[in-house]
Amino acid sequence: MDELNMNKLNEEELNAVDGGVGEASSVKVKPITPIWVKVTSTSLNCRYTPDGEIAKVYEKGHRLKVDGITSDGYWYRLLIYDPRSDGNGTCYAYIAKKYTMRD
C-alpha cells in the first residue's frame, strides 16, 4: 500500500502510528521511508503542530526531507532546527502535503 497517496489510514495502521515529540506528542504520525519533497506554493508555513504556531516559512522550490505523514494524510512530518532554541536543538514540525510534490 502506498501511504503517500492515501487520504486516511485504516484502523490497523492507525493503531501502529507513533506520536511526535514535545508539543506534537498528541499528533498521530505514521513513519514513512524518508523522501524529498519540493515546495510548490509561493511560500509554505512549517508549523510546530498541524494548524499550530508557525516555526519557519519555506519558499517555492525549497527541498525538504520528510519522514512521516499524519493519520489524516494531510500533513508531512519533518525534523527541523528549532528556531526557539537559537539553532541548538531540533524538533519535529509539519508542512501541508498539498503544497508539495515528490522531488
What pLDDT digit, counting tens, does each position of 37-74 carry?
999 999 999 999 999 999 999 999 999 999 999 989 99
What percent of the chain shows pLDDT beyond 70? Answer: 75
Cell of 65: 526531507
- Is the alpha carbon torsion for 87, 36, 76, 33 positive or negative? negative
**Rounded CA separation 17/53 (Å):** 23
Give the DSSP H or E segment for 34.
strand 29-39
| Fold annotation for 11-102 | SH3 type barrels. (2.30.30)
What per-residue confidence (pLDDT) applies to 25?
A: 56
